[in-house]
Each structure stands twice: as C-alpha cells, then as structure tokens.
A and B are shown apart, each in its own frame.
Chain A
C-alpha cells in the first residue's frame, strides 16, 4: 500500500528537522575567526528556526483538527517499506515549540563556553534536529532513529563540557539510555512485524491494530522501560541527578526542558495511543508509582546538599504529576499532564540556568557552603525566588495550573473507585507540602542570611543583560500560561479527546 504524497504544498517539517543539523555542519567549514562568529551564527539559526516554526504553525496548522497535519511522506528505504514520515498534531505541537524556545535560550545561555566551541555549537544544533525530528515523526522506526540521534550529542556534551565527575555521569547516562532504547527497538520491531508480512512502522496503521493481550502487555512493558528511563520513573531515575549535576547548565536546560519530556511524550504517543488495552491495565499500577515518585523524589531532594542535584530531584518529583495525569485516563488528567510537560519544561530549564549562573559566580556547589548572596546579586535572587515559587506551584504561574488540572483529572477519573482516588490525591497533595520545604530551604541556604565572602578570589556581578534576558524570556510564558492556561489547552484539547475515545470509561 503506497501512501500518496500527502504534503499539500511545502515540506515544512522536513525543513525544520533538516535545517539545524545541516546548518551545523557548515560550522566546521567556517574560517578561524574566533568563537564570536560561531556563537552568533548558531543563535541566528536557532532563532530562524523558531520563527519559521511559529510562522508555519500559525498559518498552516488548524488547531481544531485532531488529525495529523502538515504530513510528509517520502519513501526512504525501499527494501522494507521505510518512510520518512513526518506530521504533527495537537500533542506534538506544544513540545516542538518548547524545543525551539528552550534550545534557542540554551544556546544563548551557552555563550560563556569557549573551549571547542565549534563542536559544542554543532552538537547543540544536532540535538535541535533530533528533538524536533522525534516530536514530529509519524513512523516508529523514525521515532527510534531520532531517539538515538539525540543521545550522542548529549553524551558528548556531557563528557566534554561537564564537571569533575563527567565521565562517570556520561557513561551512566549512555548505558541507561542506550540500554533502554534496546527495549524501544524491540517494541517497535514487534509492532511492525506483527500481523502482516511486510513491516509497517506507520503510527496511524498501528493505532488501529489490535493485539492479543499478552503480546500487547509485552510491547507495553518494552516501551515503558524505554520511556521510564527517559521520563524518568522511579526506580530508573538515578542517571538523572548525576547527569544534571555534572553537565554544563546549557546542557542541563536541554536535558530538563526537553529530554525528560521525550519520555512523557513517548508514553502518550505510543503507550497510550497504540496500546490502549495494556495502558488501561497498567495505569492503575503506574499511578501508584507516580504518587510514590512525587513523595520519594521530593524527600530525596531535601536530603541533597548539591544544588543542581536538588533541582534535578525536584524535576523527578514534578514529572510524577505527568505520570499521574497520563495514567488517570481522563480528559483533564491528560490535558494536565501535557500542560505539566510544557510548564516544567520552562521552569526546570530556568532553574537550571539560574543555578548555573550563580555557580559561575560563587564556584560553590554545596548548599551549606553558600549563604548571603541576596545582597550581592539582587537580580539573580529575584529571578530565583520567582522561579522557585513557580516551581512550588504558586498560583498565577503555570506549574500551579498544571498540578491543579492533574488533581482534577484524578478526581474526575472514571476508572478508579473512591478510596484509591482519595489515597492517590492525598499522597500527591502531600507532595505539595514537601515541595516548598526543599525549594525554600534551598533559597534560604543560598541567598538569605549573610556571609563574608573572601573578597579576593571571588567576584560578583549581578545578572548581566544576557542572563536577565534569558530568565525573563522563560518567565514570561510561565506567567502567561499561569494566567491564561488556554494557551496550551487550546493546542491539545481536541487531540486528547481523540486519544481518550479509545478508552471505554471516559
């Protein structure tokens, strides 16, 4: 069965996927004119890509249509019917725009990097491509390829520009993620070879397929392991604090802002959409895991002395809300999960950015060594406070709304009985008490109080215009989503409804 050229006019998505990496290759042929040219060039490419995406989505994407749009399908490998199939729908639109936004800002944040700046910027652009390719691929094998494609840049970024223990962390990262993607590949091949003689990797055809229950459960477990490592879901999360603790903060922004979201996105895209029966079996267990994760990661976070690890565990804790939202199998829960994906993408990235910039100044990573930075760096203090408050779900910021909607998702879920609902809600809500404990004590240890720094070997600048710009640029969407959450809801509402129509009780 040949799919016709469904692209109506212009291969937008192919351009979006191809542009950054091909522009990245050009970096290597640049004449040696210093790092400045490379930096400006990379930022230019990122901004161009972001603007193009915004333009294309604004004009060629219908929000009220739950089907896949802007589809492109080119035959790539004739031998086993492998297509270059791209397309986006309401589910992937948000993460793609998030990717563009965060990557641009991360490139801007990475300006202090001078060592090997060619390779660094090339890797940033390669990641950009990989991520957009992942979010827009409509083919299982392509999804897998993109999944693998962005691993290599992260590994290199971590291993070359990380902190002291970078090799250990990088190895851990690559072992975890590469190990998990074996399961992804197995699942993908299993789905592809089931039922028909020739492999079908197409999402749409596999979505309509039904499998024997045991087989579906097996597939589900395979995909779940892959996404659980990435998302992360406990107990497969330990790569994350190490990786975040060691990586340069621009890499951290990408990791926290986008990479973690790939796992959650995969859960919705593959586990929920393709394997709906298995999902309804597994979701009641996963929701418990999600609730435990929130508490567990939050309490682990307050035990961390390392600033970046503390924020990393807070990411783990916040991703618990996504899992709960996905597993509540209710309209609001899933919407909330998507909102949480976007919202935490902003907030997590911003917190890592700020912690990195303050590390640049004081050169201390342990919280108990810090103190009294507020008078020296009032602007960083302000942004840090605001974003910590955003992270602890203060109303008026996006985090609050995402968590609230997830809560309503649990309450309105028709799948569960009253008692489990009460328990899950209760346990999840305990997380809202633990969150301020670790975030505020982080603020307290860093900024409050006073301390005499040895004036000779440390120098303090407050945020410069670039850093201020980055943090405000992240703050603005956080606040605007918090005030008017329909910005994000309007993207995903119809698609969510379409996904949930596969489930009986919703």
Chain B
C-alpha cells in the first residue's frame, strides 16, 4: 500500500487537464470548442470520479489503520532555504477528499443541466475544474506555503465564479468584495506563516508542531509569548476570512451573485470549509495557546448568533441560505474552539451535504421560477414572489424539506447528530456559550422554516403582485441588470421603447442579451422563444398567460436525490452505535479515524457519552428546534393578506393593538436583519471611504506637492531665464549702475574685512 500513498500527489492534478484543454481550445479554436461544449462535461466528471475512487480507497485504508503519510519533494533550493512540495495524507485529509469529490461530482452533473443554455458554459467548467484541482491541492498540502498557494488559488476561483455573469454591476462589486475581503485574511495568514517561520524555521506541519510545543513547554525567553500569540492569531485570521466568520463575513452573502451550483459547491460545502480545515490542521498548535482557543470559540459563537439573526429578513433565498451557512460554520468554529475536534469535523461533513442539498434545491427552484419572472436574480431568487411551489415542483420540495429538517436538527437526519454533539460539548465549556448555542438552534429552525414556508406553501405570489397592480412594488423597479433603477417601469409604456432599442441594434447586442438566456419555454402549449426578459414581462402585462413553474429535468434532480441519501445517512458515521451493546468497543467510524489526531491534541480522550445524558440533551435541543419551527409556521403559514407587504413580521405583530412595544422590538430586529446588521454599511463608510480618501489624498499630494515642486523648479528657472533676459536689455546706463553698485558692495566688504584685521 505504500505505493498508493507515494503516488497520491497525483490526486490534485488529475482534474487539471480539463481546464487547460478547454482553455486552450477556447483561445485557439473558439468556434469548434463552443460547438462541442456539452462533451466537455463528461471528462470533468470522469476525472473527478477517478479522484473519488482514489479517495474512497484511501478512506477505507485510513479507517483500517489510521496513520499519517507524508511525502515531500524539494521544489526550490536555495542555500539556506528550501521549499518543498508534498502531500500529507491523514484522516482529516481523507475525510475532506471524500467530501470535496462527492459534492464536486454531484455539482458538476447538476450544472451540466443548470448551465446548459448559458453562453459561458465552457468557462464555467474551466473554473469549476480548476477549483476542484486547487481545493484538492489545498487539503493534501503538507506545508504552510503550499496551503497558502492553494488558499489563494481557491480564492481566485471563487472570485472568477462570483464574477461569472460579469455584465451585472452588482456581480462585479460582489466579486471584488469577496477577493479583497479574502485578501485581508490572506494578509494575516501570510504574516502568520512568516512569523511561524521566524520562530520555528520550518513550514512542515509535523516539525512545526514539535518545535512549537517544545518552545512553549520549555518556556523560552527568546520567543516572546505575545509574539507567538500574535502569529497564531494572524494564522487564524486567514480562516476567519475564508470561512466567513464574524468580522470578515461580509463577502459571503454577496457571493451568492454567482451561479447557484457555485454557491452549493464553493460557498457552502468546500471552500468555506477550508478555513475550518486550516484551524483543524493547526489545532495542535492552537491548543497550546489558551487565549487563541478562547478567541476561536468567541468568534464562533458571535458568528453563530449573528448569522442566525441576519438570516431572518432576507428575501433572497440564496442570501438566506448564505447567512445560514455562516451561522453553521460558526458552530463548527465554536466546536474547534472548545477543543472538540471530532464534533467539528462531524458537523463540517453533515452541514456540507445538507447545505449543498439546500443550495441545489434552491437552484432548482430558481431554475423553475426563471421562466416566469424573468432572469434577474432579484426576481427569480426572491422568496416573496415564490410560494405554493409544492404543487409544481414536488421532488424538489421533498429534497428541500429534508435538507431544512436536517439543518434544523430533527433526529434521524444528518445535522442532528453533529449539532447535538456540539451543543452537548458547549455545556461543559461555558454555560453562556451553551445558552447562546441552544437558542441559536431554535433560531436556525425558525429561519430555515421561514425559507421553506415562503417558498413552498401557499400560492404562487407572482400573480398576486400582478393583480394588485402595485406600480411601486420593489420588483418592477429593478431593471434587468439588477441596478436599482430610479425609473419605475410603468409596464408597457416604458417597455416598448426598450424593446425597439433592442431590435435596432440587435446584431451588436445579441451577445449581451443572450448571454444567459436563450431558452425555449413551453407555456400553455405554445412555444415561445425568449431572447430577453423584457419580453416576458411584457407578455404578462398584456396577455396574462399564466404559466407555472415546472419541475427541473432529471439531470438536476438526480444529484439532489443522491444528496438526500447523504443527508439521511451520513450521520451514521458519527453515531456511536457500538456503545449500546458492547462496552469495550465504543468507537464509531469517525472516532476510529480520528484517533491519531485526537491523541495529538492531548485531550478529549475518554469521552463516553452515556445514553441517558444523550437522550435528555437531544430532547432539549429537538424541542427548541421544534419550537422554532412552530413559531415560523405560525408566522409564515400562508395568510394571503400578509403577502401585500414585505414586512410580514410587522403585519402579524400589528394584530394586537396593545403590543406596540413588541411591535417596535420586532421592527428593530427586522431592520437589523434586513440591513445586514449594519456591518456592511459600517465597512462601506469606514473602510471603503477611508481608502478612497487616502487614495485621493495621496494622489493629490503626489500631483500637487511632489510633482508641484518639480514643476515649480521648472517654472522658476524659466522665469529666472526670462528675467535675466530683461536684465541684459542693452542700456548702457543700466550696466553702469550695476557696475557701480557691485563696486560699492565690494569696497564695503573689503573695508569691513580690513578693519576687522586691523583691529586684531
């Protein structure tokens, strides 16, 4: 078996040929490559499946004999500095390999159908395959530099994929925001790596941990403890940005502007897990610094609460899910901070599958809605326009419901087991944290069911919007490109000129408008070819043909069903089956895998949960979750009157005239949540404005002062030259005057000097 390990470096490069080949094809033979575009999905899926087979094999081996393998090759050799490339296979890596490949394959299959009519189909697959390559490289890295390299590469893929539909201004802001926010984290990571290198002189994890532990235990005076803590904190800040934890979470909701498969793969299952992965990987290092562990837990708990509260009032289905992702990652981070390594990984896995399922489900919904409301994400992803989809998309509904229940922590489903474990551990860590964590479990159930109910229950709201004929309803003022246009489209009047414009320079603009949407829709027996969503709206305005969303095709449903299976059964890897019958063998698969890592951490060795405690705790958490579900269904169960307004909470609360205070509280919470906790605004005002001011100031300084001096010197010399020209004007009397003047001065000076000499 040594051989398999030795050649496993190939894992991260198996998928690389696809992006390279397609990229070259697109550059050199664009036409033929584009014609054959559907074929390219096949090799991507195939190569990733090969990787999956490899990693499954690896996983099984790791279960049987969990051990750590590391191979390195020297990459660049300098005199006193050598960088090495290598791979490190340990249980953590093998778990993440499985996770990435399975979700990756499913998302690739899914996006083959989801993106099939997109002009950028090939580009999408290039980015996706490249992302898979770098993500696989990231988890198999054996040293910090390698981690940093792949860390940046996945960040770049995320940037490119968020900016996939680059014609929309919102998208371009979102992708830049994501990259820059991540760069702030990377800045910390880089500094942390440099600091650690300065302390230990190594990048390899194994050496690093050993040297570091020795340093801490020997309590060297050479290395200041504060400096060590600082370095650890800087390393952690990389994880904060990547996993969207509290101060640097702002990019994740905006990242939902990317195509939905990307949100499922990158921004829910894999890339955001990279931060967790890094912390888990460096946990032996963090464990010895108690402050850092406390900080990690603190950041985790803040994120848990913040994410849950911000998810309340999102009307975009994907943003709601994004805040939920943030909150759940917060749970994982909390678990890591508490030192319960196993629970963190368990929740990472279960959450990844459940959230991927939810995102794919939302993608399917969006896909169905697009045909009706048009292609602007402001409409197709708007939960206010959805509702009553149960009838139309039954399979998606079941899948989505299962994902929702799993995330809420309802017993047989995956997330229940892992979340329960974290909640249990939090009791022993700190009661305050535990209370927050438990109440957030209720909040999770609430917001998830809010999403579910708004989407699937009741009736399709889009037509109510039309019937009510409200011109100022937010959705009609949103132009095609997502810009909050000040113009309120007054139905036909404004639409017609737009249409004519389209027709006039159709040749020029065809590439624009057909960028995402060339699709033939079957509605009411007539085939309409839609080249532009304006036309769609127009149809609704005039003819009022009611079309209903349709279930997506099988290629979309299949990955969702597979993920349903995962969601149902993945919890099994962490359920301590054996502890009920045999006392000596209380090990589930996950614990078995993680024995070596756990022993590295020097703690949580003997944690035998007894059955009674487990049941009480889980009853408690499940009842909290069901309470949240109950509240959600009492608020969001379809009441038609409430659909007229966005502020549902307001309307419901207004029922009782006495509850003005309650009303106010609700309003405050709603505003807080709707405005994303004012954090984005704060950043926009303080940081973005600050940098802009700084830029203006420096460029002003540069232009006026530094350049001004230069130009000033130039002008002075010019004027001096002119002046001298005037002096030499040719008048004899002037020359004589000057001459006498100089002679006088000379005499004065010489006489004064002589007098001073004579006085000596």
Contact = CB atoms under 8 A, between A and B. Distances in A.
A329 to B, nearest CB: 14
A486 B163 CA distance: 34
Contacts, number: 141
Interface string B659-699: 00000000000000000000000000000000110111111
Interface of B: 27, 75-81, 145, 148-150, 152-153, 156, 159-160, 163, 166-169, 171-173, 175-176, 179-180, 183-184, 186-187, 190-191, 194, 197-198, 227, 481, 505, 508-509, 511-512, 515, 691-692, 694-700, 702, 706-707, 710, 714
A449 B172 contact: yes
A486 B167 CA distance: 40
B702 A238 contact: yes
A296 interface: yes
> Would you list the 10 A-B pairs with minimal beta carbon distance, nearest first?
A448-B172, A303-B699, A303-B695, A395-B149, A302-B695, A450-B167, A238-B707, A300-B698, A444-B172, A449-B169
Contacts of B175: 440
Contacts of A468: 27
Give chain B's interface secondary structure class. Answer: helix
B167 A300 contact: no
A72 interface: no
A436 B176 CA distance: 8
A437 B183 CA distance: 10
Contact of B176 (A331, A412, A441, A455): A441
Contacts of B172: 444, 448-449
A101 B505 CA distance: 43
A394 interface: yes
A175 B714 contact: yes
A18 interface: no
29 contacts: A175-B714, A299-B691, A303-B695, A303-B699, A331-B78, A331-B80, A331-B81, A372-B167, A375-B167, A395-B149, A396-B149, A418-B227, A425-B191, A429-B191, A430-B187, A434-B691, A438-B695, A440-B159, A441-B176, A444-B172, A448-B167, A449-B166, A449-B168, A449-B169, A449-B172, A450-B167, A450-B168, A450-B512, A452-B509
A407 B27 contact: no
A436 B152 contact: no
A411 B148 CA distance: 17
A395 B138 CA distance: 13
A174 B52 CA distance: 63
Contacts of A299: 691, 694-695, 698-699
Contacts of A296: 698
A433 B152 contact: no
A268 interface: no
Contacts of A433: 180, 183-184, 187
Contacts of B186: 432
Interface in A302-346: 302-304, 331-332, 335
A249 B749 CA distance: 60
Chain A contact patch, size range: 35 or more
A407 to B, nearest CB: 6
A235 B698 CA distance: 12
Contact of B706 (A235, A426, A429, A497): A235
Interface in A62-116: none
A444 B180 CA distance: 13
Contacts of A144: none
A302 B691 contact: yes
A395 B152 CA distance: 7
A282 interface: no
Nearest to A302: B695
A396 B197 CA distance: 21
Contacts of B696: 303
Contact of B163 (A300, A375, A437, A448): A448
A388 to B, nearest CB: 11
B76 A486 contact: yes
A493 B79 contact: yes
Contacts of A301: 695
Contact of A408 (B163, B168, B197, B697): B197
B70 to A, nearest CB: 21
Nearest to A381: B166
A374 B707 CA distance: 35
A407 B190 contact: yes
A444 B187 contact: no
Contacts of B159: 440
B76 A455 contact: no
B84 to A, nearest CB: 13
A415 interface: no
A460 B150 CA distance: 36
A389 B156 contact: yes
B695 A300 contact: yes
Contacts of A485: 76
Contact of A432 (B160, B183, B695): B183
Contact of A238 (B481, B697, B706): B706
Contacts of A122: none
Given A372-B167, A375-B515, A448-B171, A394 B81 contact: no
A426 B195 CA distance: 11
Given A303-B698, A449-B167, A332 B512 contact: no
Contacts of B176: 436, 440-441, 444
A304 B508 CA distance: 31
Contacts of B198: 411-412, 421
Nearest to B166: A448
Contacts of A484: 75-76
Contacts of B692: 302
A128 interface: no
A375 B511 CA distance: 7
A489 interface: yes
A436 B153 contact: no
A447 interface: yes
A172 B710 contact: yes
B702 A300 contact: yes
Interface in A456-471: 468
B80 A447 contact: no
Nearest to A375: B511
A155 interface: no
A417 to B, nearest CB: 12
A408 B195 CA distance: 10
A437 B76 contact: no
A335 B78 contact: yes
Contacts of A455: 505, 508
Contacts of A444: 172-173, 176
A442 B160 CA distance: 15
B76 A450 contact: no
Nearest to A241: B702
Contacts of A12: none
Contacts of B698: 296, 299-300, 303
A400 interface: yes
Given A396-B149, A432-B187, 15 more contacts: A238-B706, A299-B694, A303-B698, A304-B699, A332-B81, A335-B78, A375-B512, A385-B160, A395-B148, A411-B198, A436-B180, A438-B695, A455-B505, A455-B508, A486-B76
B699 A436 contact: no
Contacts of B167: 372, 374-375, 448-450
A484 B74 CA distance: 11
Contacts of A176: 710
B142 to A, nearest CB: 16
Given A238-B707, A238-B710, A497 B169 contact: no
A172 B78 CA distance: 42
Contact of B79 (A385, A426, A441, A497): A497
B180 A408 contact: no
A379 B27 contact: yes
A374 B166 contact: yes
A447 B27 contact: no
Contacts of A486: 76-77
A394 B156 contact: yes
A332 B76 CA distance: 12
Contact of B166 (A238, A332, A447): A447
Contacts of B505: 455
